[in-house]
Chains A and B, each alone.
Chain A
Amino acid sequence: MIHFVLLISRQGKVRLTKWYSTYSQKERTKVIRELSGVILTRGPKLCNFVEWRGLKVVYKRYASLYFCMCIDPDGNELEILEIIHHYVEVLDRYFGSVIELTSLIICRKAYYILDEILISGELQEPGKRTIVRAVAAQDSLVETVKEQTGSISTIIAQASK
C-alpha cells in the first residue's frame, strides 16, 4: 500500500501531496520537511529508495520534480518506480509535457489524474489511455455544465433587462 504521494520541486517546494494513510496536519508538515531534507540531498547515481521511519520511500526525479511515494517495508520498490513512471506518462499524455507541472496552475488536474490512478493507496488502472479518457470525459462534463449555466444565466440576464 502507498501511504502517501509527494511531489517536491528541486528547491524543496511542495507541488502535490496526497495522503492515503491518516496523518494529522502537523505530522504532514513534519513528514514533508524530513523527507525533502533526505531526498533532495541524495546524489544522482544513488538508488531510488530511502528507508525512513520503518517505511520505505521510493522517489524518482523527472525534470526538476521529485515524485515520492511511501510504501510498507515489504512492498515492491521496483514496482513503485513503475507506478511513478506510469503517472508521469499519463501526465505527459494529458498535458503534452511534464515540464508544465512545475507551473502549478494545472495542479488540480494533476490531482484528478492521480485519483484515476490510485485509490486508497492501491493501483486502480494500468491502462494509460483509459485514464486519460476518464479524466477527459469528466473535464468535458464540467465544460458542458458550465456552458449550460452560462447560457442560462445570460438568458436570465437578458430577460431581467
Chain B
Amino acid sequence: MNPFSSGTRLRDMIRAIRSCKTAAEERAVVRKECAAIRAAISENDQDYRHRNLAKLMFIHMLGYPTHFGQMECLKLIASSGFPEKRIGYLALMLLLDERQEVLMLVTNSLKQDLNHSNQYIIGLALCALGNICSAEMARDLAPEVERLLQFRDPNIRKKAALCSIRIIKKVPDLAENFINPAASLLREKHHGVLITAVQLCTDLCKVSSEALEYFREKCTEGLVKTLKDMANSSYSPEYDVAGITDPFLHIRLLKLLRILGQGDPDASDCMNDILAQVATKIESNKNAGNAILYECVGTIMSIEDNGGLRVLAINILGRFLSNRDNNIRYVALNMLMKAMTVDAQAVQRHRATILECVKDSDASIRKKALDLVYLLVNESNVKPLTKELIEYLEASDQEFKGVLTDKICSLVEKFSPEKIWYIDQMLKVLSEAGSFVKDEVWHALIVVISNASDLHGYSVRALYRALQTTTEQESLVRVAVWCIGEYGDILVNNVGMLDIEEPITVTESDAVDAVEVAIKRHTSDLTTKAMALIALLKLSSRFPSCSARIKDIILQNKQSFVLELQQRSIEFNCILQKHQNIRAALVERMPVLDEATFSGRRAGSLPTSVSTSTGTAHNIPNGIAKPAAAPVADLLDLSSDDAPAPSSSGGDFLQDLLGVDLSTASAPPSKLGCTNGTDLRNIRVKSTSKRWYNVLLDLLSIGTSPPAQSSSSASDILSSIQDNTASLANLNGLTSLSPLSANGNSPVSPAPVMDLLDGFGPSPQKNEENGPAYPSLVAYESSSLRMSFNFSKQPGNPQTTLIQATFTNLSPNVYNDFLFQAAVPKFLQLHLDPASSNTLPANGSISQSMKVTNSQHGKKSLVMRIRIAYKMNGKEVFGRGASQQFPPFRVRDQFWGKDKRRASFVRHGPTAARSDGIHLHLAARSEFVLIFSSLTMKQDLNWVDLLIPDDVARSELELTFSSLTMMQDLNKVDLLISDDEARSE
C-alpha cells in the first residue's frame, strides 16, 4: 500500500495546520497534504476517498488551489453509497463553481440521483442542483425537478421548489412549466413547503408577466387568507420566534403580496385589511416583529395608494427612526428613501431626525442618512440644510468627509438661490475640506466667480481672508491664487465693496505674499505651484511696484526639478525681461468664462469643435483677419478686446489661465471657426519673436505652393494664410488638400493618407444631429483626376453611410475602361454600385455610389483603400490611395511605412489624462506641417505617435512639437519665444 494513502487523519491535519506559526510553515504542511491526496487519487484509493475530500475542502477554505480534487467529487457522487454521495455533493458545491466544465460531467449523475429510490439521495441531488445549477443543467433537469414538486415527502417538495427558483432564474423560458405546480403548492399546510412555494411564486412573477397575471388573479385571495390565518394563529412552538408565529413566512407572504398589488388597484384593495392588521398588531419590541413591520411598510408603500395605510406606514417609520437600535434606524432610513417617491412631504416631517442621523457614529447610518438628506433638499430648505451639513463637515471624520463634501458641493450647485450664497458656501467647504473637493467643482467655482462681475471684489477678498487662516486645503489655495492673480488690483483697491463685508486693507506686497506662500509651501502640488506662477506673472503687471520682487520669486523656480515649473519660470522671466511692451496685453484679465460651455463639458459632451467641413470656410468671421502689417500689435490688441459677448470659446479656459483671449473673434455660427481662430491667433502671438515667426510662416507655407491646376477653393485659403490674413483658414480644408499639394505634379502617385485631420474635433453625435449634412471630401487627387466623396446617412441608421463618389477628369484626354475599386477592413461592409459610365470624358465627370456599413459604429472610423485604373491614350494608369478618415470619425488606425522615422509625443501637464492619442503616418513633409497645425486644435489629444518623413529636420520637429503641446495650454506659449530667442542668441 502507498505509504501516503493512509495519511493523517483530518483532525490531525487541521491541528497541524493550526499550529503553524508562519504562513510559510502552513504552506509546507498544505503542500505535503496535497501531495498525499494527489498520490491517493492516482492510486485510485477507495478507502480514504472521502476523508481526502474532506481534507481538500478544508484546504480549499484556506484559499489553496484544489482543482485536482474535482474529479474525485465526481467519482464519489457516482458511487452508490449514501455517505460517499453526501460528501461528494458537499465537495462539489464547495470546490466547483458554475463556470467549470466539470459540471457538464455531473449532470448525468444528478439525473440518476433525482430519480433515486432513496429520498435522502434525491434531497442531496436537489440541494446540489439548487446551489450550482447552470443554464444547460437547468434545461436538462427541469422535468425531473418539476416532477419532484409533487413528491410525497414534503422535504423533497420544498427542496424541489427552491431548486425551481434557480432553474427559472437561469432559464426564464422555463417559467411557464412551473406556474401550475407552484400554485398548487400554495395550498400546502407544511410551513417549509409553503415558504418555498411563496418564494417560488415571487420569483416566477419576477421573470414572467404571465405568471404575475395568473397568480394575481387566482391566488391573491388565498394568500391574504393564509396571512390572516398566520397572524391570528395561536402559539406553535416549532415556528415561534419571539412570540410571533413564523416571521419568515409572514415576510415572504408580504413580499409576494407586494408584487401582486403593485400597479393593480383591485389586488391592492383586497389586501388592505390584512396589511393594516399586520401593521398595527405586530409587536415591535423584538427584531422578528420589526422585520415583519419593515416588510409590511415596504408593501404598503409599493401597492396602489391607500391614504390611511400610508399614514400608518410613515408613522411606523417615524417610530423606527427614534428607536435606539441602530439596525432599526438604518432600515427606517432605507425605507424613507423609498417613501420619498411616494410621499415626500411626509418624509420632510422627519427632517430634523434624519439630519441627526448624518452625525451618527455609525458609518452605515451616516451614509444612508446623507443619501436621504440629499434627496430631501429642495429650493426652500437648501439654506438651513446646507448650513447644518457644513457645520458637521468640521466634526466628521476623514473617511466620511469625502462623501459629505461631494454631496454638499452638488447640493450647493444645484439649488443655490444666488451667486453670493453659492460662493460663500463653496468657500466654507473649501476652507474646511478643500482637499476633498473634486477638480471640476472648484473649476466650476472659478467659472461662477468669473461670471459674477459684481462679486469679483467680494470673492477675492473673501478668498484672501480664508487663505490667511488656512493654507492646508489645496483647492482653496488654487482658487484663491487664481482670483488674486486675476483680480489682484481689485483686492488691493477694495473695489466693489459690499455692505456686508468688513473692510480689509491689503497692500500690493501682501497680495504677492499670499501667492508666494502658496508657491513655497512644501505640500503644494504641481498644479498649485504652476497656477501660483501664473498669478505672479499677472500680478507683475497689475502691481508695477512689486515687479522686481515677483521676478525674483519666479526666478527661484528656474532650477526646479519639475520640468513644468522650470519651463514656466523661464518663460515668464523672459516675458518680464524682454517683452515689456507686450506684457500688459499678454496678462490681461481673463475674459468671462463661458458657463454654458463649461457645464456642457462637465456633462460629458464635447461642445468644442463642432463638425468641420471644407465648406465652412465662408462662415469664418473675419474679426481677426488683420492685414499682415503690424500683426503683433494688432493681435495683442485683439486679445485684450473686451466684449467677449457670446463667448463660445472652445478652449479649456482653466488651462488657458494666462488669459490670452480666446473669445474675442468668435462669432456664431461657427464654433469651429472659433477654435481654429484661437489656435491661429496663438501662432501669431508667438510670432512676436521674429525668428519663430519666420519659422512658423515657413512651416505654414511649406505646403502652399498651390498647384496650378487646382481649382479647389482651398488653395485660396492657403494663400490667404500666406498673407497672414484670413487666419481662420479652415484647416480641415487645408488638410484635405494635403495629397494635392504633395502630389500635385505627378500624374498619379499614391495619395496615402488624406484628410487625416478632418475628423479630429467633431463628435459623432453632433453630426448625427445635424442630419445628412456631411462635408464632402476629396478622397483622391492627382493632376489628372479628382475623386470626391459626398456622404449621407439614412435617418435612424447611423451605422450605414451612403457615399456618392464623383470622379472628375481634369485633363483634356478621355479616360477609357475606368474602374474604381475599394477595399475595407472586416468591421466594415461595402456595397459598391456600378459607376454611371466607364468612360470619363475630358473635363467631365462620372459618379458611382456605395454603401458602407460600420459594424463598430462610434468606435472605429471608416477606413478605405481605393484603387483607380483607367486607360488614357491606350496607356494604363493606376491610382491608389487609402482614404483613412471620413469626416465624423476619429483617426485611430495607422499605416506604417518602411522608410519612415517614428516619433511619439505625449502631452505633459497635470491635467492630461493619458488615454487619448493617435498614431499618424506622414507621407511627406507638407503633411507633417499640416497635421501639426491641425493637431493644435485637438484639446483632448494627449499623445501622438508619428512616423516622420525624412525631410523633416529634427530641430524643426522639436520646435513644432513643443508648440503643439503648448498651444493646448496657453501658459506655455511664451517659451517658444524665449526658447527660440535664447537659441538664436
Contacts and interface: CB of A to CB of B under 8 A. Distances in A.
Contact of B246 (A45, A76, A108, A126): A126
Contact of B58 (A32, A86, A104, A112): A104
Interface in B49-98: 54, 57-58, 61-63, 65, 81-83, 86-87, 90, 93-94, 97-98
A37 to B, nearest CB: 13
B251 interface: yes
Interface string A87-123: 0000000000000000011011001100100011011
Contact of A146 (B10, B83, B247): B83
Given A46-B362, A49-B364, A142-B82, A119 B126 contact: yes
Interface in A25-44: 25, 29, 32, 43
Contact of B239 (A29, A126, A142): A126
Contacts of B158: 124-125
A112 B295 contact: no
B361 interface: yes
Interface string B147-183: 0000000010011001101100000000000000000
Interface string B122-156: 01001100110100000000000000000000010
A48 B120 contact: no
A51 to B, nearest CB: 6
B362 to A, nearest CB: 4
A47 B295 CA distance: 18
B327 A49 contact: yes
A82 B82 contact: no
A127 interface: yes
Contacts of B294: 76, 78
Contacts of B94: 17-18, 111
A10 B195 CA distance: 33
A50 B238 CA distance: 31
Contacts of B291: 76, 78-79, 81-82
B238 A128 contact: yes
B367 interface: yes
A24 interface: yes
Interface string B319-337: 0000001111111001000
A71 to B, nearest CB: 12
B162 A124 contact: yes
B248 A126 contact: yes
Contacts of A15: 61
B48 to A, nearest CB: 14
A22 B166 CA distance: 12
B162 A47 contact: no
A155 interface: no
A19 B98 CA distance: 10
Contacts of A17: 61, 94
Contacts of B130: 119-120
Given A47-B327, A111-B90, A119-B127, A81 B287 contact: yes
B52 to A, nearest CB: 13
A82 B90 contact: no
B218 interface: no
B249 interface: yes
Contacts of A16: 61
B102 interface: no
A23 interface: yes
Interface string B4-40: 0000001100100000000000000000000000000
A46 B364 contact: yes
A83 to B, nearest CB: 7
Contacts of A48: 326-327
B99 interface: yes
Contact of B199 (A29, A76, A107, A122): A122
B160 to A, nearest CB: 10
Which residue among A25, A32, A48, A78 has the maximum number of chain B CB atoms within 10 Å of its CB? A78
Contacts of A29: 63
Contacts of B862: none
A134 interface: yes
B248 A83 contact: yes
B288 interface: yes
Contacts, number: 169
Interface residues of B, number: 71
Nearest to B242: A82
A39 to B, nearest CB: 11
**Interface centre among A43, A105, A112, A120, by most B CB within 10 Å?**
A120
A137 to B, nearest CB: 7
Nearest to A58: B327
Given A49-B327, A124-B196, A82 B248 contact: yes
A50 B745 CA distance: 73
A81 B155 CA distance: 24
Contact of A138 (B120, B328, B329, B363): B120
B771 to A, nearest CB: 40
Contacts of A14: 61-63
A18 B94 CA distance: 7
B416 interface: no
A115 to B, nearest CB: 5
Interface string B214-245: 00000000000000000000000011010000
B844 interface: no
B295 A79 contact: yes
B163 A120 contact: yes
A126 to B, nearest CB: 5
Contacts of A126: 191-192, 195, 239, 246, 248-249
Contacts of B288: 82
B396 interface: no
Interface in A123-156: 123-130, 134, 137-138, 141-142, 145-146, 149
A51 B916 CA distance: 34
Contacts of A146: 83
A6 B238 CA distance: 27
A119 B99 contact: no
Interface in B356-408: 361-365, 367
A78 B287 contact: yes
Contacts of B196: 122-124
A105 B251 CA distance: 35
A119 B159 contact: yes
A145 B83 contact: yes
Contacts of A19: 97, 131
B290 interface: yes
Contacts of B165: 120, 122
B364 A82 contact: no
Nearest to B63: A29
A50 to B, nearest CB: 6
Nearest to A137: B120
Contact of A78 (B90, B120, B331, B365): B331
Given A82-B287, A129-B238, A130-B238, A138 B86 contact: yes
Nearest to A23: B97
A114 to B, nearest CB: 10
Given A22-B98, A124-B158, A146-B83, A108 B63 contact: no
Given A78-B290, A83-B248, A142-B82, A107 B97 contact: no
B488 to A, nearest CB: 47
16 contacts: A22-B98, A29-B63, A47-B330, A49-B327, A78-B294, A79-B248, A79-B291, A82-B288, A85-B287, A105-B10, A115-B90, A120-B130, A123-B248, A125-B158, A126-B239, A127-B238
For the complex of A and B, list the 8 residue pairs with the smallest distance between their C-beta atoms, beginning with the closest: A78-B291, A47-B326, A119-B162, A119-B130, A120-B166, A120-B130, A125-B192, A46-B362
Given A16-B61, A126-B192, 7 more contacts: A18-B93, A19-B131, A46-B362, A79-B247, A86-B241, A105-B10, A126-B239
Interface of B: 10-11, 14, 54, 57-58, 61-63, 65, 81-83, 86-87, 90, 93-94, 97-99, 120, 123, 126-127, 130-131, 133, 155, 158-159, 162-163, 165-166, 191-192, 195-196, 199, 238-239, 241, 246-249, 251-252, 255, 287-288, 290-291, 294-295, 298, 325-331, 334, 361-365, 367
